[in-house]
Structure 1
C-alpha cells in the first residue's frame, strides 16, 4: 500500500471524526485530518532536525524540527506519536512521547489539520528511514534558532515550533 492509499479519519473543526478517506484524497481535497508532531532531544538536550526527502507527499525537501505525521484511521494521537517517532528515527523501545498540547493548523491554501505536539528524549542510536529523511543531525537550540531564517522549513512544523516556544515560556 502506498502512502497515498493510507486511510485517514476526516475530522471537523472540533476534531470530531466525520468520515474516512485515503490520504491522497484527503490532501488533494484539503480535508481536515489529524497529525502528530514529536520534538526529539538527545541525552545532551540537542534537537533532532532533518530534511525531508524529495519524494514526500507533503512539503518535500524541506527542513523540520519534529518527527511525526498523519494519524491513521481509528488510531489515537498517543499511538501515532510513538509509531511515527520510532519509524522516522529508526528505533524501537523509545519511551512514550509526552503529550503537550493540540492546535488547529491552518494552511495558506485554505485547509488545515489538528496537530498534537509531543516531546520525547531519545538516547538510542538513530537510523532514520531513508525514504523519509534525506539528512539529519542533533543540533543545539541556539543553532536551530540561527537556522530558522536560513533554511526552508515545513510550515506546519514551524507553526508548531513557535507555539511550543510560547507554551514553554507561559509554563
Structure 2
C-alpha cells in the first residue's frame, strides 16, 4: 500500500465459508458491506513470557480506543496468513527480525453491527504466537499505550477494560486451545 493510500483502499481477498477466495474488494467496501475476508491475530510475548497488550488510537478505522491483547490485522489480497502474521507483528510492534509467528488455529468470527467504529460480518481469523525479545517501538498512529503484562494481570483486566471484540473472542479460544492441548 502506498503512503498516500488510505487503509480503506487496501485490497482484500473476499472468501467464502470454506475460506476459499471468491473475489476481491477494497477494505472499506468489505467492511461497509460485511464481506467475509481474512485476518491474523498474533499474541506476542517477551522473554519473560508476558503478553503485549495495547490500546488502539482514537483514529483507528475500526475499534478505536479499545484494548487488544493481539497485534494483527487484515490479510492483503494474494497474501498468505503466515506472511501477513509476520508483516503485521513487525509493523505493530515496530521491530524487524522477529522469528516467524507460529500458527495455532483458525476460526470464523461473526461480528454483529453494533455502532460507530464497529464492523459487522464475518472474517476468517488465524491465531498465532511469537516471542519478541527485541525492544518494541509501536507505531504512534496505531498504538496509544502499550505494555507487556503477566497473564494474571491481563486476566484481571478483562472485566475492567473495553476490549476489541474479535481479539477477545480469539483470546477466549486461545485459552480453550491451550487447555485442551495441555
Tell me the alpha carbon deviations over residues 63-118 of structure 1, each in whole angstroms, 9 at most, x when there is no partner.
00000000000000000000000000000000000000000000023611000000
Partner residue of 1:130 out of 140, 149, 161? 140
CA deviations over 1:136-158 (Å, ceiling 9, x no partner): 00000000000000000000000
1:58 deviation in Å?
1.0
Alignment partner of 1:119 is 2:129: yes
Partner of residue 28, structure 2 = 24
Normalized against structure 1, the TM-score is what?
0.99
Return the match for 1:53 from 39, 54, 57. 57
Shift of 1:42: 0.2
RMSD: 0.6
Unaligned runs of 5+ in 2: 114-119
TM-score when scaled to structure 2? 0.93
Deviations 1:4-61 (A, max 9, x none): 0000000011101010010000001110000000000000000000000111111010
Aligned partners of 1:157, 1:52: CA distance in 2, in Å? 12
User: Superposed, which structure 2 residues align to 1:1-171 within 5 Å?
Assistant: 1-109=5-113, 111-171=121-181
The whole-number CA distance in structure 1 between the counterparts of 2:164 and 2:55 is 9
For the residue of structure 2 that corresponds to 1:78, the secondary structure is helix
1:116-143 per-position Cα deviation (integer Å, ceiling 9, x unaligned): 0000000000000011100000000000
> Could you list the runs of 4 or more consecutive aligned residues of structure 1 that deviate by over 4 angstroms after TM superposition?
none
Mind listing any 5+ residue stretches in structure 1 that lack a counterpart? none
SS at match of 1:102: strand
Provide the C-alpha distance between the structure 1 equivalents of 2:62 and 2:37, rounded to a whole number of angstroms: 14
